[in-house]
A and B are shown apart, each in its own frame.
Chain A
Amino acid sequence: MSVPLTLLGLLEREPSHGYDLKRDYDTYFGRSKPLPFGQVYATLARLSRDGKVAPGEVEPGDGPDRKRYAITPVGKQEFETWLAEPVEPEPHLQTVLFAKVVLALMLGRSAEQYLDTQRAAHLQRMRELTELKRQDSLIDALLADHGLFHLEADLRWIDMTAARLPSLAMEVVS
Chain B
Amino acid sequence: MSLTAAPVDIRSTDYLIEARDVVFDFGETPALRGANVSIREGEILAVMGPSGSGKSTLLHCLAGILAPKHGEIRFSGQRVDTLGDNERSALRRDSFGFVFQFGQLVPELTAEENVALPLLLGGLRRNDALGRAREWFERLGIDGLERRRSGELSGGQAQRVALARGLVANPKVLFADEPTGSLDSLTGELVMELLVTAARQAGTTVVLVTHEPRVAAYAGREVIVRDGLVSSLVPDTRAP
Contact = CB atoms under 8 A, between A and B. Distances in A.
B234 interface: yes
Most buried by A among B213, B220, B224, B231: B213
Contacts, number: 36
Interface in A13-36: none
A134 B193 contact: yes
Contacts of B220: 127
Contact of B217 (A116, A120, A127, A159): A127
A99 interface: no
Contacts of B234: 120
Contacts of B231: 116
A123 B233 contact: yes
B50 A123 contact: no
A119 B214 contact: no
B222 A123 contact: yes
A116 B50 contact: no
Interface residues of A, number: 17
Please classify the interface of chain A as helix (H, G, I), strand (E, B), loop, or mixed, using the class held by over half of its residues: helix
A155 interface: yes
A126 B214 contact: yes
A148 B233 contact: no
Interface in A144-164: 148, 151-152, 155, 159, 163
Contacts of B217: 123, 126-127, 129-130, 148
Interface in B34-87: 50
A155 B234 CA distance: 16
6 contacts: A119-B224, A126-B214, A130-B217, A130-B218, A134-B196, A151-B213
Interface of B: 50, 193, 196, 213-214, 216-220, 222, 224, 231, 233-234
Interface of A: 116-117, 119-120, 122-123, 126-127, 129-130, 134, 148, 151-152, 155, 159, 163
